Amino acid sequence: MAQLSIRITPALAVLGCLALLTGGGAAAAEQIVRANAAQQRASVKIRIDVGGTPVIVSLDNNETSRDFASLLPLTLSLDDYAGTEKISQLPRRLSTRGAPAATAPVAGDLAYYAPWGNIAIFYKDGEHSPGLVRLGKIESCLGAFRQAGSRTATITLLGND
């Protein structure tokens, strides 16, 4: 499970104090903190343009995903691997601090394979793999990756929900 750090913004602190001062009490303050946490969990979305098809991916809230997003925009050559995924080398290795030791990918997962330093886009379920870190989930057009052979992809950051 990904860790979530809660950042209390100045505006949130003021709202919490107002809730306490106006008699809203701890329940109102707790509601504000929950709303802030939900906003921070809102996933960052990226767009992968492959073969003229836009594919939307929601990134997970983890350090490896944030490090990947910091590389964007990228244009990569995606190569077929094992009839299960498209892979591509990244310009540098990503942080895996706090990541699970292994992951069992399913179709639609965007992942980082730390031993090789590449991303993987799974269009079929994969094997439980040590060093594989899930970055996010494809929301649309998974079929764009099922075509045989190499594909060029441009990956851009869309922003928050």
Checking if the pLDDT of 83 tops 50, the result is yes
Q: Do residues 153 and 75 both lie within one domain?
A: yes
Give the span between the Cα atoms of 13 and 83, in whole angstroms: 51
Residue 30 lies in a domain: yes
Q: Do residues 62 and 25 both lie within one domain?
A: no
Q: Could you tell me which residue, 24 or 77, shows the higher pLDDT?
A: 77
Task: Quote the pLDDT of residue 50.
Answer: 96
Q: What percent of the chain has pLDDT over 70?
A: 72
Give the span between the Cα atoms of 37 and 134, in whole angstroms: 21
Q: Do residues 20 and 88 both lie within one domain?
A: no
pLDDT tens digits, 92-112: 999 999 999 999 999 999 999
pLDDT tens digits, 21-67: 556 666 655 665 454 444 445 579 999 999 999 999 999 999 999 99
Residue 3 lies in a domain: no
Q: Do residues 37 and 100 both lie within one domain?
A: no
Residue 102 lies in a domain: yes
Rg, the chain, Cα only? 19
Give the span between the Cα atoms of 15 and 111, in whole angstroms: 38
**pTM score:** 0.74
How does DSSP assign 41-93, residue by residue? Answer: HSPEEEEEEETTEEEEEEEPSSHHHHHHHTT-SEEEEEEEETTTEEEEE-SSP
CB 132 within 8 A of CB 53: no
Task: Quote the pLDDT of residue 138.
Answer: 98
Q: Do residues 82 and 99 both lie within one domain?
A: yes
Structural domain tally of the chain? 2
Q: Do residues 32 and 106 both lie within one domain?
A: no
Residue 5 lies in a domain: no
Give the span between the Cα atoms of 3 and 37, in whole angstroms: 12
Residue 54: φ, ψ to 5°: -80, 130
CB 69 within 8 A of CB 160: no
Q: Do residues 26 and 72 both lie within one domain?
A: no
DSSP 8-state class, residue 143: G
Q: What is the mean pLDDT of residues 4-32?
A: 51
Give the residue numbers spanning the domain of 82: 44-160
Q: Name the average pLDDT for the chain.
A: 83
Residue 32 lies in a domain: yes
Q: Do residues 22 and 89 both lie within one domain?
A: no
Q: Do residues 36 and 49 both lie within one domain?
A: no
Task: Quote the pLDDT of residue 31.
Answer: 60
Checking if the pLDDT of 161 tops 70, the result is no
DSSP 8-state class, residue 147: S
